[in-house]
Amino acid sequence: MSNHIAPPNQTLWTLTAGPAPDLAHDVPSRCDVLVIGGGFTGLTAALHLARAGRSVTVLEAGQLGSGASGVNAGFVVPNFAKADPAVVRQKLPRGKADALLSLVGAGADQVFTTIAEEAIACDAAQTGWLQPAYGEDMADILRQRARNWTQLGRPVEFLEAREIHAETGMNIYSGGLIDHSGGTIHPLNYLYGLARAVMRRGGIIRENTRVERIARNGGGWRVSFADREIEADSVLLATNAFTGGIAARMGRTGVPLRVYQVATRPLDTGTVARIAPHRRPVGDTRSNLFTYRLDRDNRLISGGMAINPIGAFDRVGRAVVDRLVSELRLPRHPGVEVVWTGFAIMTPDFLPRLYRFDEGFFGGIGCNGRGIAMTAQLGQVLARLALGEAAESLPIPLQPARSLPFHRFTPLVASLALAHARFDDWRTGRL
Ligand SMILES: Cc1cc2nc3c(=O)[nH]c(=O)nc-3n(C[C@H](O)[C@H](O)[C@H](O)COP(=O)(O)OP(=O)(O)OC[C@H]3O[C@@H](n4cnc5c(N)ncnc54)[C@H](O)[C@@H]3O)c2cc1C
C-alpha cells in the first residue's frame, strides 16, 4: 500500500474544508519525542506530549489527510466495530477488560472535548449515534449490549422498534441502540485543527517526509528520511495501514480493507426531517452494513466495499446511492456528488493494539473502522508511554508486533468475507 502515500484524492472533505495549516519546512536536529505519521493517532499523541511540555516533531509521508484520517466518513462512534463488552471480558482479565472498555466508551467524549478545548471548527455535532437492529435476535443482543455499556456508566439506551422508525423513517428494524455520546464531524477540518493545536504549543509538523529507517543512538533513537536525520529520546509509530518504509513493521499486523465513501447531492428538508430528525448518524447490524449520515449541507454520506476492485469506483458509487434511495425510500434519486476511497485496517481480534518494538519505540493501531473515537484515546495512551508511564498501568495491553502470515493476500480474504456477508444477508432476507 506504500504507493497510496499521495496527496489525498478528491473527497467531500477536500471540497468543503477550510484552509490547510501552514506547516514547517524544516525540522530540528533533535527532539524529545518523534512521531511518525500525521493522522489522528499521531497528532493526538503529539498534542498530549506538547501539552505535557515535551518537544515533539511529527513527520508525515504525504500531506495531512493522506491516510484514513483524511478520507473517513466522520462518524464518531465510541465502541468496537465487531466486539462488545461481553466479548472483551472473555478475551482479557476482568480488570484489564474494564479499563479498555472505559477507555473506548469515553472515546467520543474525548473527541468532542478536544474540539471544544482547542476551538476546532469542524461541524462537530454530538447528536448521538444509532445502531438499528435487524431481526429480533439482534435486538436481544443490543438490549444486553446497552445494559453492559450502561453498567460501565456510558449514556447508552435501547430504543424500541417504533422509536427507531421515528429516528430513521425505516420500519424494517426490531429496535436499536443509541449512544448519546456519538455524533459526526468534518474529519479533515478536525485533523487540521489538531495540527494547529500541536503547533500552537511549539510542536513541529513536516509533510512529504517519509521515514525510512530508525536506529539506536545511545539511549535514544536516530530516525532517517530522504534528506536528513533527527535524534529523539522516544519514537511513536502512528502509520496505521501503510506498509512503506518504517511503517511495514506495524501495517502488516492487520488486514487492510479498501472502503469507498459516497456523498449525494443535498436532500430537501422534508426528507431530512423524515430520515434524520435529530441528525443522528446511523449504522445498522446487517453483515453488509447499511450506514448513513448528513453533512452540514444535507448531503447524505454512506459507504461500501467491493468484492472485485476492478472498475469498482463508479460501480460502488452508484450501488451505494441506489441502496440509499431504496432503503430510505427517497422521493427522488439525489445523484452522486463525489466518490472517494481509502484503506482502513482490521486487527484479527478487532481490538486496538499497542506495540513495543524496542526500548522507547512504540506503535499503536487497530481502530477497526471506529478510528475517530478510538484514536483520540490511542494517541493519548501512546503519549503516556513516551512520557515514561509503566505499561502495566495502561488501559491497552502492550504486545509484540507480529506480521500476519501471507499479509499480501489478506485483501483477498476480505473480499471473500464480504461475498459471504452479502450471501448471508440475501439468504436470511436482510437484503
Ligand atoms: C474510507 C474510510 C472510512 C472510515 N470511516 C470512519 C468513520 O466514519 N468513523 C470512524 O471512527 N472511523 C472511520 N474510519 C477509520 C478511521 O479513519 C481510522 O481508523 C483513523 O483515521 C486512523 O488514524 P491514524 O492516524 O491511525 O491513521 P492514518 O490517518 O492512516 O494516518 C497514518 C499516516 O501515516 C503516514 N505514514 C505512513 N507511512 C509513513 C512513513 N514511513 N513515514 C511518515 N509517515 C508515514 C501516512 O501518510 C498517514 O497520513 C474510516 C476509514 C476509511 C479508510
Q: Please determine, looking at this structure, whether the domain spanning 2-72+188-253+348-402 carries the CATH number 3.50.50.60.
A: yes
Scan for cell 494517541, then name that residue.
379
Q: Whole-prediction pTM value?
A: 0.94
**Cα–Cα distance measured from residue 31 to residue 54, given in angstroms and rounded to the nearest whole number:** 8
Chain Cα centroid distance, residue 293: 15
The pLDDT score that the predictor gives to residue 424 is 65
Q: What is the pLDDT of residue 8?
A: 45
pLDDT tens digits, one per residue of 274-331: 999 999 999 999 988 999 999 999 999 999 988 777 888 889 999 999 999 999 999 9
Low-confidence ranges of the chain (pLDDT < 50): 1-8
Alpha-carbon dihedral angle through residues 210, 211, 212, 218, given to the nearest 10 degrees: 160
Task: Give the E-state strand segments of 291-413 in sequence order.
Answer: 291-294, 300-304, 336-346, 353-358, 361-365, 398-399
Q: What residues does each domain of the chain span?
A: 2-72+188-253+348-402, 129-180
Tell how far the Cα of 330 is from the centroid of ligand 1, in angstroms: 32
Q: Which helix (H) or strand (E) holds 211?
A: strand 211-217
pLDDT digits (tens, 9 = 90+) for 270-286: 999 999 999 999 999 99
What pLDDT was estimated at residue 295? 98
> What is the CA(39)–ligand 1 centre distance, in A?
6
pLDDT of residue 408: 63
CB 338 within 8 A of CB 263: yes
Q: In a 10 Å sphere around its CB, with 0-12 CB exposed, 13-18 middle and 19+ buried, how is residue 25 labelled?
A: exposed
Pocket of ligand 1 (CB under 6 A): 5, 36-42, 59-62, 66-69, 71-75, 77, 210-211, 238-240, 242, 244-247, 259, 261, 342-344, 367, 369-373, 375
